[in-house]
């Protein structure tokens, strides 16, 4: 049987990586023996290119293609083989990040960037079976990122407001796939909610 793909999405500082780390250690999740992964990928040719691009003033369309190339490589090398082997895969960011972030960065290049980026993926991507959207006000997430000590070029209030709006629209348009979690709660609350929903989902599917 084909495995299941679960993705974690949300704006910078929404707590995705924190949840992923907690899930890795959680005995109820470990019982499913999942593979944890992320986008952008780490330590790959395409992931390294993305990392350089987002640390510099790269053209936004060029950046989209780098993220998308990284997605293709991620699908080919990890996601597809794992799902074919019946594995549960949990990815910290995936295609919805492209729809939401590049849906904003490409506003000056294209008339309807969100639909255009979705179309670009349509014929070859694998749609996740379940997506958690960690929803939070950017005012809070930016403060959290400040404490983390990194500053990405995407961590700007107005920008993240737009990204959050697209994430919420994607979730509203596909309520069967998305579960929206209020990410302003404590890490313990968020972990408990996510574990419960994953267990419910995997027992049904």
Ligand X SMILES: Cc1cn([C@H]2C[C@H](O)[C@@H](COP(=O)(O)OP(=O)(O)O)O2)c(=O)[nH]c1=O
Residues forming contacts to ligand X in the complex (CB under 6 A) are: 12, 16-17, 39-40, 54, 67, 93, 97-98, 101-102, 152, 154
Q: Which stretch binds ligand ADP (CB under 6 A): 16-24, 31-39, 67-75, 76-84?
A: 16-24
Residue 11 assigned as binding residue: yes
User: What span, in angstroms and rounded, lies between the C-alpha atoms of 168 and 171?
Assistant: 5
User: Do 77 and 69 touch, CB atoms closer than 8 A?
Assistant: no
Residue 18 Cβ, how far from ligand ADP at the closest point, in Å? 3
Q: Which of 33, 108, 123, 186 binds ligand ADP (CB under 6 A)?
A: 186
Q: Are 46 and 70 in contact (CB under 8 A)?
A: yes
156 backbone φψ class: left, alpha, beta (φ>0; ψ -120 to 50) = beta
Radius of gyration of the chain (CA): 16
Q: Residues binding ligand ADP: what is the number (CB under 6 A)?
A: 15
- Least separation, in Å, of the C-beta of 203 and ligand X? 29
Feature table: binding site: 10-17
């Amino acid at each position: 049987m084909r495995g299941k793909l679960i993705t974690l999405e949300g704006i910078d500082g929404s707590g995705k990586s924190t949840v992923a780390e907690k899930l890795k250690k959680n005995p109820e999740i470990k019982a499913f023996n999942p593979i944890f992964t992320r986008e952008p990928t780490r330590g790959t040719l395409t992931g390294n290119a993305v990392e350089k691009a987002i640390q510099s003033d790269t053209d936004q369309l060029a950046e989209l293609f780098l993220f998308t190339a990284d997605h293709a490589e991620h699908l080919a090398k990890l996601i597809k083989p794992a799902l074919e082997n019946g594995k549960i895969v949990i990815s910290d960011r995936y295609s919805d990040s492209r729809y939401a972030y590049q849906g904003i960065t490409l506003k000056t290049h294209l008339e309807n960037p969100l639909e255009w980026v979705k179309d670009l993926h349509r014929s070859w991507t694998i749609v996740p079976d379940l997506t958690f959207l960690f929803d939070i006000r950017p005012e809070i997430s930016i403060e959290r990122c400040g404490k983390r000590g990194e500053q990405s070029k995407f961590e700007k209030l107005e920008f993240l407001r737009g990204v959050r709006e697209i994430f919420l629209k994607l979730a509203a348009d596909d309520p069967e796939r998305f579960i929206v979690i209020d990410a302003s709660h404590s890490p313990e609350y968020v972990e408990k909610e996510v574990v419960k929903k994953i267990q419910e989902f995997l027992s049904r599917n």
